[in-house]
Amino acid sequence: MALTDTFIKQVKHSGKTTGDKHSDGGAMYLLVTAGGKYWRMDYRFNGKRKTLAFGLYPDVPLALARQRRNTARQLLADGIDPSVAKKEAVAEQAALNENTFKAVALEWQAMKAKGCAENTSNKRLTQLENHIFPAIGNRPVAEVKPPEVLAMIQAVAASGTAYTAGRLREICGQVFRFAIQTGRATYDPAAAMRGAIEKHTVNHRPALTTRREFGEFVRDLRDTTRADPLTKLCARFGLLTWTRPKELRQAKWDQIDIEAAEWRIPAIQMKTGKHLQAHTVALSAQALEMLPKLRELSGHTDRLFPSGGSSGGVISENTINNLFRRMGYIDKQSHHGLRASARSLLSERGWSTEALERQLDHKEANQAVAAYARSQHLDERRRFMADWGALVAALESGDNVVAFPTKAA
């Protein structure tokens, strides 16, 4: 006779040591003991008697117990042991709970950190922790759905940071692909997000690219009283060497070879990271002339541009931009924009695009070409850096005529 909810609720343990069995049909019964009421099902598989547990009443009500019984009987009809199927399902769920998006992302982040600059790795981890983990971090990576990713990136885009939203989609996509590669997911829900948010408009850093404007700027930099001597020297050295702000700020004295007129920057300090190569900057006569002055100010440390005279720190990333703002160039010239200024002015003087791009350490899009470009154009780069130093000196002095190089290639 089938059980009823009322009976199950009211039935008491009789005191029997083995408990009391109350059948519901289909080999399922309610086992009532001093410890509680348990759903059980006895069956035979390959000639062996087995018992399958469906849970504890009232956590598992009668309707759910019958549903689990029917599923078990269907498995038996298909030649599958329901006890084995249950263990496999439990193990699968445990794997899902262990392989959350956060767990997989942190594993991926540790792997990626070995092949990129430290500040890039830290920035990516911050984006994961601030935006992605709160939204989908605790979800099994294999169960994350496109709408969950969409909701996260739309929330970031709505706050006015479209670039960050686009970057978050890219990071999610890389994590999902890593999960697929390691057998913990089967598809990438972030791939469906392409075009789901407004494309970020790139705003280039301000840079003066005409000789007249740039000449006025270098003369203002020479004459400004709005900065200490070390800051002014840092700005001018960056102007003469085309380096990125980070590379300039982290410059060390042992990287400077005065005899060879070179500044050799280790790969780990370059934007592209330690998986590529170091970068050589040919130093013009004007750049070399600055070094004795710099030695007087920072020669007691291992850095060219230390913070507060301490070898333990470097000049702030905002120092040069703040100087340019005080000079009145807030929307005209930025620290990073010095590279664009130099690139534009020298391209007008006939130097090859390939050599100019190599001096800027711009990554070669063609990987086959990049493999052979490590020291390419160095001779030409020496010549045009000398030309650049002469041009800057002429602009500083206000000369109207600057001789063009006799040979640009």
Rg value, the chain, Cα: 35
Tokens matching residue 125:
């981890």
Whether residue 236 is found in the same domain as residue 332: yes
Whether residue 375 is found in the same domain as residue 287: yes
Counting the structural domains of the chain, the total is 3
Whether residue 277 is found in the same domain as residue 381: yes
Whether residue 227 is found in the same domain as residue 332: yes
pLDDT for the residue 277: 67
DSSP at 209: -
Provide long-range contacts, Cβ within 8 A and 24+ apart, for 405-409.
405/349, 405/350, 405/351, 407/383, 408/349, 408/350, 408/351, 408/352, 408/380, 408/384, 409/350, 409/351, 409/352, 409/380
Q: Which domain holds residue 362?
A: 211-397
Domain edge (last residue) among 96, 111, 135: 96
pLDDT for the residue 219: 93
Residue in 110, 179, 167, 125 with CA at minimum distance from that of residue 152: 167
pLDDT for the residue 372: 44
Q: In 88-104, which positions are buried (b, 16+ CB within 10 angstroms) versus exposed (e)?
A: eeeeeeeeeeebbbbbb
Tokens matching residue 287:
């750049």
- SS3 at position 351: coil
pLDDT for the residue 274: 41
pLDDT for the residue 75: 92
pLDDT for the residue 376: 53
β-partners of residue 53 are: 40
The residues that are catalytic are 244, 274, 336, 339, 362, 372
Is 149 within the bounds of a domain?
A: yes
- Residue 46 — φ and ψ, nearest 5°? 55, 40
Residue numbers of the chain with a pLDDT score lower than 50: 200-202, 273-275, 309, 365-375, 408-409
Whether residue 295 is found in the same domain as residue 358: yes
pLDDT tens, position by position, 342-355: 888 888 888 877 77
DSSP at 234: H
Whether residue 124 is found in the same domain as residue 185: yes
Is 200 within the bounds of a domain?
A: no
**CATH number for 169:** 1.10.150.130
